[in-house]
Chain A
Amino acid sequence: MTGQILRGLAVLIAIAGVIDPSINSMRRTQHPVAIVSSDAPADAQLADRIAREFASDFAVVRGPLAGAAAVVVAGDRLPNDIATFPASTPAFAVTHLSEVPAAHITAVRAPAAATIQSRVPLTAIVRVERGKGRSVEVSLQHAGLTIDRVTQSLTTDDERVSVNLTFVPTAEGPMPLSISAGFEDRSIRERADVLVNVDRREWTVLAFDRRPSWLSTFVRRALEDDSRFVVTSRVVTSRSVSTDTGQPPGSLDELPSLALFDAVVIGAPEELTDRDVAGLEAFLRRRGGAVCLLLDQQVPGPYERLLGVGAWATAGTSTPASIDVTGGDPVRLLATELAWPVQLPPGSSTLATSVPTAGDTSVSRPIVWSAPAGSGRIIASGALDAWRFRDSAPSAFDRFWRTLIADAAAASPRLVEIQLDQPLLATGEATGAGIVVRDASLAEPGTATTLKGTVSVVLETPSGLVPVRAWPDGAPGHFRATFNAPDSPGTYRLGVTGNGTRVDTPVVVTSTAVARPTPDERDLIAAWTSSRGGITVPSTRLLEVRDALDRALHSTQEHTTWYPMRSAWWIVVFALALGVEWWMRRRRGLV
């Protein structure tokens, strides 16, 4: 009986296979979705979790997939392989959100070097999770001593706070600093180490007036009284008559002598000649310097070529208007006569704006602004009579101009620039250094002369000079070197000789591990997903991504035809049935 059944089953399968019946049904479309993450274990875990959650709704692939209908990034860092996805692929991201209170220093912004005559501003970006209603305390330590401390209240469960700290240097040399962040009850602390090299660098500034100008005179005096500046000046008082301080260049069109200065401050710019303007343009583009134009009246002239302003607007007030620095310290100028461009040139940024007074319907106007010009920057001031209001109580005339010119001068590249990836290292740790030879880097392209940049790099150690190999790095004048920190803790110097000019920078090696910020690329991820029509959500809102994927991929119920007999598994069943039936017959003695 059993044998007959098995034989019948085999016959039925064979008949059904010949008939090949079909079944029609409505089924959800399963688009292929790639889930990618960085190599960090936490990111990988999150990616696995997302893959599990989405497996029932999509054809999930863990990793980059050519032809994926959508990509989901897991974690707070952009994986390298996202570049493999075309721009048309919708992108989504799920970032971490801790289940318990946590604080992470995601970035520290600090100048690599600062002069001892100034205070060093540092900004710590701290991401605090599950801290709503509590306070985060960020402090700055040097040599085990707390130098600055800031406490900030938290209003949400996933908050990123930007905290400004200040280091007051008391001596020259490399200063290892430590920033720690945590909750006010000190239950959780996270640390990040930075190095600031404190030196006594002076910025060279040329003040050049084609006619005497009150504004330029008082700005120059403010700079001359600050030991961070070395001011050279020329004030043309009459035809062929000038008053010089120091050794100013013969004219502004001599780039070799003008290139000695980090910044050039121009008073009465309307008096500049075409040759002057050409010289300043060369200074901006081939030196990468900063030019500050101090207008004390708005009249046309060749100088407008530098600014690229189409039209100017002016205003006069009976009471002095406040001109406040944008997004910085509360530093202000006062002026009654103002001039500003009707439309700022493209790429420019506002440094100080006029503050509308009570009853004034006007908006804030860009009175002091800057625009890039080649590698340099040009700064224009339309506070025409700001020199009249120099009383330190309501105004901060000296402070304003010193800070502005210092920022501009410090941004001017030196003959050889070194930028260490990490100046503070643990013993044996590897790091890289970018080297830029200015003259080769900023040389005018297309010139017939051959650009030549020669660089030699050494690490100065107590046991002698250790050569470091540097390789050209793409653009002319750009080089890159990598080296390992020595095995002994201490302060070393990385010396670079570029085209005959030698500069060096300190490298501090510690015996303990160096704490570094935990990068948080959520903004970048959010921008990336947004540019591709997707969203970025924390891991607690994972379902929102699934809904968004549904909308983006138009997941619908579709009419599908199923051919059950086309499964290869029927062969197994068919063979098994016949085999068992044959075996039973042999057992009974039948053939």
Chain B
Amino acid sequence: MPAWPDAPLVVAFLTRVTRRRVGIAAAQGAAAGFAVALVMLSVGWLGRTSLVAAIGAGATLAAAGLTMHVVMTVRRGRSAAALVELRAPECRNVVVTASQIIERPSHVRDYIGARVCRDAAATIARLDVARLLPVKRTAAAFGVAMSCWIAGVLLLGGRPSAMSGLTLIPGATIDIVHVDAVVTPPAYSGRSAQTLRDPARLTTLAGSRVQLTISAAAETIAFETITGRQTLRPTAARTFSGELIADADGFIALEPLGADGQRGMRRLIGLSVDDDQPPRVRVTAPGKDLFLPDPKRAIDLAIEADDDIGLSSLVVRYTRVAGSGENFTFTDGEVPLDITRTSGQAWTATGVLRLAALELAPGDMIVYRAVATDARPGASPTESDSWVVEIIAPGAVAMEGFAVDDEQDRYALSQQMVIIKTEQLIARKATLSSDAFVDQAQNLAAEQRRVRAEFVFMMGGELAEAGVDIEQLHEEEEAAGEHDLAAGRLANQGRADLIRAIRSMSLAATSLVAAELPTALADEKAALAALQRAFARSRYILRTLTERERLDLSRRLTGELAALVRDSRPAATPVDNPRVAELRRSLAGLAAIAGADRLAPADARRIAAAAQDLLRIDPASDALAQVAARLTDAATALAADRLRDARPSLDRATLDLAAVVRAELLDAPRRRATPDAAQLEGLLGDALRRRVR
């Protein structure tokens, strides 16, 4: 700075002017930023997804406005001296002159500089910076803009916008602008809510609450699901709300309606509901039935359980069955478990089933199973397979019905296993003590009885129903069966062979209890031979026949041979698969639209309806949902008069729908040979065969 006495005064004055001017520019920029933010908030471009987003957007825009205006003012605006001269013409350019020569003092002589600065100082002494640069208006504008923005944030922040424009012009297009979906899974799942804007498809857990907020230029909205239809009325300006509990696959169709009944473009949202799967639980150790002579043993248990969402409990329950004859007592209890929670979804547990504490007597039984529950309210517990611990006693029979395998080979295999074990025991007899030998023979007897019991069960319990002790064969029924067989009324010999097998098994079990293994072995083999005859391929036991082939029992064993007539039934009249018929109809409708030379916006409604029909045909089909989504895209594009976008989506949807229908159908026979060619081929075949002979 030059050493002129009044120069500092001038510089200080100009500095004050500059600071005030920057402050005003900042306030103006920020006000503009708030105004822009308010506008964008109102039209729904920014800040409508959450409050934080609204505040962030406003602050950012205000800061941007502030910065931009300050920079522009500093870079492009007049100098402070020029501004003073502009606002105070009485300065007669002396302030500008002083400012310029202070910047470049070497260009003037000292006395001139001192004189100009002195005059400038005298002039600015009469000036008031506050009057030169008033802040009142700027402050008011800033305050109003910020207040409006704050109010806007409080009122609109985080709420879906009503429409793209601030006002709806009467007679304007009826349309849905946005659909905001909040999917709230059931509380027990522990999953958080999900917010989606304009979803084409919602995938939810069964029981989830789906809240829809629809921004639409409409009077009402028809809200349709696969189960029904309702009308939504606005809850706020151009805002509609609806909700449903997602409990099955389906769709949500939203159709805006005007006051005059005018219909807008339908919005379709596929709904895919995932069921909460029940827990899976299994006893991994011992994982088999036990037949023990010792009622004091402790049995180590290991259990595994898992669930798709989360487990809430895991226990092992047992039922103690004690008594005999018709005097049974049943006592329930639980086994304490040591549970390891690997994760919320997978648990393992160990425990010890102490038989001593249960005071079991020979012939008593423990039936135990693991039980797991998940957190779903009202859900039934899931049980593992039930396993049996039986304290064996001579003459007792394992209770049938716990684990009957329906594969017929298993019966023969089980009997074969008894035979093998018997042969092994005979071979090991010399190495065993007498008690151990008897003990193991009785174990085998229990297994033999169990195999036998399953056959009795398979025969439909007819021996038991007849009031017969299943240990003994009912001679009268067998005789009736023999008569039946002799009369040639049964299609095969399976039943008789099965009865013989059961009888041989009874004899074998009796011999095993008495530790007479050679006798038992002969009976076991006889039983096996009878089983193999019973299960020969051409002689399956015809237990289950369809209605159309059910035997006419009234004709069995009755009537005269001469009165035999053919059973004549009308020919079956199958109907076309209704799903395929519906899909084909949809495809035809879609092809009619897509095949047209020109698409018109009016076709959008037909396309949207076709999409809804597809979801109605099979809400659970992912392929159809995808086709429906493409159709919705096409309808939306068409409604917006974007024909270029609509055509590819429509073509692709048609192609995909054709693929879905195609997968449901069988190939038509391919082009057949001409009659000449068929004749020629036959003649050639005949000639070749004659030559080979």
Contacts and interface: CB of A to CB of B under 8 A. Distances in A.
Interface string B549-588: 1000000000000001011111110111000000011011
B674 A372 contact: no
A241 B566 contact: yes
Judged by DSSP, the binding face of A is mixed
A148 B658 contact: yes
B684 A372 contact: yes
Interface stretch (A110-118, A424-432, A504-512, A566-574): A110-118
Interface in A144-190: 144-149, 166, 168, 170-171
A147 B684 CA distance: 40
A119 B668 contact: yes
B539 to A, nearest CB: 11
Given A148-B658, A243-B567, A411-B673, A308 B689 contact: yes
Given A145-B591, A237-B491, A375-B678, A170 B584 contact: yes
Interface in A208-245: 212, 214, 217, 224-227, 230-232, 237-238, 240-245
Interface in B650-685: 651, 654-655, 658-659, 661-662, 665-676, 678-679, 681-682, 684-685
A246 B566 CA distance: 12
Given A149-B655, A403-B666, A372 B676 contact: no
A231 B571 contact: yes
A74 interface: no
A441 B680 CA distance: 12
A237 B670 CA distance: 37
Given A242-B567, A243-B566, A345-B689, A118 B678 contact: no
A109 B671 contact: yes
Given A118-B665, A145-B591, A227-B575, A413 B569 contact: no
A121 B672 CA distance: 12
A121 B668 contact: yes
B538 interface: yes
Contact of B584 (A120, A168, A212, A407): A168
A244 B567 contact: yes
B567 A399 contact: no
A351 B658 CA distance: 28
Interface in B403-432: none
Nearest to A118: B668
B588 A240 contact: no
A561 interface: no
B479 interface: no
A347 B686 CA distance: 8
Contacts of B491: 212, 237
A170 B588 contact: yes
Interface string A74-103: 000000000000000000000000000000
B669 A243 contact: no
A171 B595 CA distance: 15
Nearest to B674: A419
A49 B568 CA distance: 76
A230 B667 CA distance: 18
Interface residues of A, number: 79
Contact of A244 (B569, B575, B658): B569
Contacts of B594: 145
A245 B546 CA distance: 15
B662 A119 contact: yes
B671 to A, nearest CB: 5
A320 B569 CA distance: 35
Contacts of B658: 147-148, 168
Given A374-B686, A419-B674, A119 B666 contact: yes
A136 B399 CA distance: 69
Contact of A375 (B597, B679, B692): B679
B691 A111 contact: no
A289 to B, nearest CB: 11
A347 B587 contact: no
B324 to A, nearest CB: 42
B76 interface: no
A282 interface: no
A109 B482 CA distance: 62
A572 to B, nearest CB: 64
B670 A406 contact: no
Nearest to B583: A168
Contact of B692 (A118, A346, A442): A346
A376 interface: yes
Contacts of B572: 224-225, 231, 245
A66 interface: no
A171 B588 contact: yes
Q: Which of B654, B673, B678 has the most CB atoms of chain A within a 10 A radius of its CB?
A: B678
B688 interface: yes
B682 A373 contact: yes
B688 A406 contact: no
A262 to B, nearest CB: 11
A168 B661 contact: yes
Q: Which of B591, B597, B684 has the most CB atoms of chain A within a 10 A radius of its CB?
A: B591
A516 to B, nearest CB: 16
B570 A347 contact: no
A118 B537 contact: no
Interface string A440-466: 011000000000000000000000000
Contact of B685 (A347, A402, A419): A347
Interface in A539-575: none
B665 A146 contact: no
B488 interface: yes
A135 interface: no
B553 to A, nearest CB: 14
A245 B568 CA distance: 6
A216 B157 CA distance: 72
A241 B566 CA distance: 6
A434 interface: yes
A407 B567 contact: no
Nearest to B589: A170
B675 A417 contact: yes
A399 B682 CA distance: 28
A374 B567 CA distance: 35
A532 interface: no
Given A117-B665, A145-B595, A237-B491, A411 B574 contact: no
A260 interface: no
Contacts of A347: 681, 684-685, 688-689
A333 B101 CA distance: 105
Contacts of A142: 591, 595
Nearest to A141: B595
Given A168-B665, A170-B584, A243 B675 contact: no
A411 B662 contact: no
Nearest to A474: B676
Contacts of B659: 148
Contact of A240 (B564, B567, B666): B564
A297 B665 contact: no
A143 interface: yes
A371 B686 CA distance: 10
A105 B159 CA distance: 60
Contact of B654 (A145, A337, A410, A413): A145
Contacts of A149: 655
B674 A434 contact: yes
Given A119-B667, A244-B566, 20 more contacts: A111-B668, A111-B670, A111-B672, A119-B661, A119-B662, A119-B665, A144-B595, A148-B662, A168-B661, A224-B574, A232-B571, A337-B537, A345-B692, A346-B688, A375-B678, A403-B666, A407-B669, A407-B670, A411-B673, A411-B678
30 contacts: A110-B671, A111-B668, A118-B666, A119-B667, A120-B668, A143-B591, A146-B651, A146-B655, A168-B658, A168-B662, A170-B585, A171-B588, A225-B574, A227-B574, A296-B537, A297-B537, A329-B667, A337-B537, A345-B692, A372-B686, A373-B686, A374-B686, A375-B675, A385-B537, A399-B666, A403-B666, A411-B669, A419-B675, A441-B675, A478-B676
Name the 6 nearest CB pairs between A and B, nearest first.
A347-B685, A346-B688, A410-B669, A114-B668, A170-B588, A246-B571
